[in-house]
Structures are given as structure tokens and as C-alpha cells.
Amino acid sequence: MLRKAIFTFSVSVASFVSVHAQTTYLQLNTEDQYLIDKLETQSGHLTNEVFTSIKPIQRKGAVQFLLEKRQNARELKLSSIERYNIDHAISVSGEWTPDEDGAIDSKLPWFKTFYKKQPDFIHVKTKDFFLSVNPVISAQLMSEKNSNNTGGSKYWSTRGAELRGWIAKKIGFYTYLTDNQEKVPEFVDNWITRHRAVPGADFYKKTGSTYDYFLARGYIDFAVIKDKVNVTFGYDRHFLGDGVRSLFLSDFSAPSTFLRINTKIWKLNYQNLFMELTPQYYDNPNDDRLPRKYATVHTLSVNATRWLNIGLFESVMFSRRDRFEFDYMIPVIFYRALERKEGSPDNVNIGFNFKAIVARRFQFYGQFMLDEFQSSKLFSNSGWWANKYGMQIGGKYFNAFGIKNLDLQGEINAVRPYTYSHRDSTSNYTNYNQPLAHPLGADFREVIGVLNYQPMKNLYVTVRGMYYQQGVDTGNSNYGSDIFRDYNDNRTQDFNVKMINGVKVTCASLNVNLSYELRENLFLDLGGTHREYQYDSNLFPKYTTNYFYGGLRLNIARRNYDFY
């Protein structure tokens, strides 16, 4: 139902409004996305070209921002490596430079046909048409040792293609298609078995100990008001926030069908996101049509001062039998009021976020997400179970201690029990058996630290550490960490519910990764992870995992198993 509604909406808008220049978007978790965030902080003031708290980021705005920073490189005291990174990022999205030809020429093209431009296997540019086609390949081998002596050889293999382009600068398009096989570390395999889902993927098959899935993402984009309002219709993922995690909406779960209306004007960026999702399910042996549920998300991001960005977030998750609730398609309204009008059957979340730039070196950010509460019980210190909320606070330190290209990040996340869950299991904050926000769900507190260092142009060093505590269910008791459960199902108590409710588990992990760029977007990765997990320290020993890996990847971000 949502697909019909949003397709009709898109066609209607395109038919009755003069269509202007569109854009495409940077892939999530790329070096270019990280570079923009760093340069904004180093400049000492926020830009209105891109709003980094709302991802993915428009390529057009990104290139305009990067061109400005390249022009002011001396004033910003950028290192030679930072200038190299800017040139690289502009080249990858070179169709958006003023001459529409910003991609760097290859010194040795293949057969005078392929890799004529450094970033693109196939690069076609005419007056009314642009097309970039690239292979997507990964081959990573792992060796695992764990406390159960069930490790051994693991691997991750991907083959596919990515293409993007525009037609007459009116319609932009993007497609990403890959065939994937994974034999994962045991703790990841346990997560997949428990949730009946491969993180970031939708339908999958398991053959022996290998997970096999086909992943497809794509969208079309057009601007109904030039450089002001863009409409995007597709199947993809999103991320809201400035941290490693997001308490609003993350890219952890499977892609979903969406209609996105993004309005950027003055110092404001306002986004409406309408999504068709898949509620939790068990087995589907007859390949029957899976049920549907829906979500609408409003996000407002405002550059309140030159150094402070604040944002408001609102979402509603709901399920109707093959029908979208058209009340929730109103682009400017308070959903909680509409939800009460409907009889309060749905799951409404609201939130606040901020980002502050300090001394051209530091960036501080945070989120507060509110699921449900009663003020009288929130401030009575009674630990009422339905005071459901989550908090994030974090900071980034660029060129730390005066060392060029050494960047540090620290982040704390905490989410109360029963947050994101709902009495109607189809209205919980999930998609395709995976959390839509934080991978841990609820009832946890977590600390994350990240070190990024680029000692030379083509070498990237990353160290990531994570520690969390979480309360988990025992027997049939519901302590609030499982966001897929009905919060009324065997809830253990109504009051004195603490942040860590139930049996406490602890987990600590450390990953060290080296990535060397052999040529444009072709990386050699080497690294290892040490992980310790303990269930009820009074009764059980630590479960330890060590694995080492190495491999090649082309035009794809590294698959990260270190933060489950």
C-alpha cells in the first residue's frame, strides 16, 4: 500500500511541478563522509551546504563544500594528506564540479575504454547524460579461536556492481547489487540464530555454516525546487546522528522501501521519511507474502549559531492491515496528537540532538530519545517501568595533541529497559527481525572509543574499543532488553526498574585494522579482534574470541563484526 501511495505521490509531483537538478548520495560509512565531518570542525563553523547529522549526504552539496575548503586550504592549515583526501573525494563525485568533469583522469586506462577516470570502471558523460559503473568485490579470510574451540576458518565474499547517474540533470538514479556469502565468527552466528536475521540484509539462506544472501539497494531522485526540496524514492538504509551509534535511526537493519522529502533552506534542513518495513516473523517455509508495517519519521536540523547545531526527531511506528495510515503522511504535524486521536494504538518516539564545534579541534554531540514517560513518576525516583528513554553523549578530537591526521572519538550510550518495545509486537522499533536504532536494543549502557590515524596518503589505521553492560532475560521473565517482546508479556515488575534490569552480562572488545589503498577505492585490509563476553559473573566464566583477518575489497566498506 505504501509503495502505491508514494509512487503515485512521486509521479504527481513530477508531473505538476517543474523538475530541477537532482542529486545522488554518498554511500554510508565511507572515508568521504568522515572527511566532511572533520573539515567542518576544522573550519570553526557549521556549513549550510550539508547537514552531517542527516545521512546519507548529498553528493552535490558535498562537492560544493569540499571545493570551498580546498580553496581555503592555506587558511585552514590543511596538511598535504588532507588536501589529497579532498582531491580524492571531489574526484569520486566529479560530475558535480562546475565543469561537470572533476573526476581525475587515469594515467593508464584499460584498452582506452575502462578506467579512463580514476574512480570509475565505466565513465560516460555527455550533455544530457552521466553514468558511472563500478564493480563491487570483497574477499576476506578470517581465522577464529574461541573458548568453545569451535573457531576455524571464516570468510566474507561479495561480488556485484554499483551504478549511478543522471538524465538531463533532472532525474538521478542509483543501484547497488551484490551476491554475498559469509561464514561468520561464532558470536555473530549466535546473534543471527537468535534473531533469525543477518545484520544489514533481508532474505537469506543458510547452507551448512554459510549464510548466502542477495543484497539490492537503489533509488531515484529529483528536485521539485532547485537546491531546496528533493524527493527520493527507493529501497535503502538511513542514519540519523553524529556518533558511532544512533538512538534515532541507524543503518544496522535491512534496507526498506522509502519515500524521502528533504527540504534545505536558510539554516534549516527538514526531512520527511516514509518507510514500509517488515515486522518480526519466524519461519516462512512456503514463501508466503510477509506482513507489512510502516513508519514515518520527521527530522529537523538547525544551525542555531556558527558553532551549534540542534535537531528535533519524531517517529511513529504502526501497523494496519495492508493500509498506510494517511494521517501520518502529513509532513508538518505533531504525531503524538494524531496517535492519541486514533486511540493511542501506535508507537511514537520523540528526540533531541545537538552538535557543537569548539576551538576548531573538538566536536561534541549527543542524542536524547524519549519513548514514553509520566512526569510525576519520572521525577519521583520510583523506577517506573514505562519511563522509557535513551541517552547518548560523545566527542571527537581532530588532529589530537597536535599530531596531524590523528583523530580520537569517545561515546557513551545508555537505554532504559523496555524502550523501543510495544504491546503490539508489530509496532516495536524493528525491521526484518533487526533493531532499527541501536543493535543492543534496550536495557544497556555502553562506552565506545575510536582512534583513526592516516600517517600517509594511502594508509588508514583504525583502533576501536567497546565495553557494555546489559540486563538479559532469564527463563520466561521479561526484564526489558528484548525489544521484540510485548512489554506486558511476563514483565517482572512495574517499579524499581533499574538501568541494568535482570541478569547482567558484560562484553568488551578491541579491534585493530590497517587498510592500504592500492589504487582508487581498492583496499587491502589486515586486522584482528579480541572479544570477552561474560554472562552472570558469579556463575559463568568469560567467553573469549580472537580472530584475525586479511583481504581485498573494491568499492565497498569493510564488514564490521566488532560491535554486536
- What is the set of domains in the chain, with CATH numbers? 2-554 (2.40.160.10)
E strands in 425-542? 430-431, 434-435, 444-456, 459-472, 503-519, 522-535
Query: How confident is the model over 524-540, as pLDDT tens digits?
Result: 999 999 999 999 888 88
Give the DSSP letter of residue 435.
E
Sign, Cα dihedral of 473, 479, 482, 486? positive
pLDDT value of residue 322 = 60
SS3 per residue for 3-25: HHHHHHHHHHHHHHCCCECCCCE
User: Is the bond preceding residue 56 a cis peptide, omega within 30 degrees?
Assistant: yes
HEC-encoded secondary structure of 148-173: CCCCEEEEEEEEEEEEEEEECCCEEE
The answer to whether the beta carbons of residues 256 and 235 sit under 8 Å apart is: yes
Strands 205-207 and 129-146: unpaired
Predicted local confidence at residue 15, as pLDDT = 45
* Residue 56: strand pairing partners: none
Distance CA 182, CA 206 (A): 10
d(CA 530, CA 527): 11
CA distance readout (Å), 24 to 143, 170, 218, 406: 38, 11, 10, 30
- The CA distance from 126 to 124, in Å, is 7
pLDDT of residue 372: 77
Give CA–CA dist 311/300, Å, rounded.
Answer: 5
Please name which of 134, 28, 111 lies closest in space to residue 521, comparing C-alpha atoms: 134
Nearest to 439, CA basis, from 219, 251, 183: 251
pLDDT of residue 16: 45
Task: Report how far residue 552's alpha carbon sits from residue 140's, in angstroms, rounded to the nearest whole number.
Answer: 6
Dist. CA 383–CA 491, nearest whole Å: 14
Burial class (CB in 10 A: 0-12, 13-18, 19+), 137: middle
Evaluated on CA atoms 320, 321, 327, 329, the torsion sign reads positive
For the chain, which ranges sit under pLDDT 50?
A: 12, 14-17, 343
CA 266 to chain centre: 26
In the chain, % helix, strand, coil (3-state, to 5) comes to: 15, 45, 40
List, in order, residues 6 or more apart from 99 with CB less than 8 Å away. none
DSSP 345: -
How confident is the model at residue 537, as a pLDDT?
80
Contacts for 276-281: CB closer than 8 Å, 24+ residues apart = 276/2, 276/3, 277/317, 277/430, 277/431, 277/432, 277/436, 278/202, 278/254, 278/431, 278/432, 278/433, 279/319, 279/425, 279/426, 279/430, 280/425, 280/426, 280/428, 280/430, 280/433, 280/484, 281/196, 281/433
CA distance 428 to 388: 13
How much is the pLDDT for 215? 96
In three-state secondary structure terms, 63 is helix
Residue 512 amino acid letter? V
Report which residue type is found at 430.
T
Task: Please answer whether residues 227 and 50 qualify as being in contact, where contact means their C-beta atoms are separated by less than 8 angstroms.
Answer: no
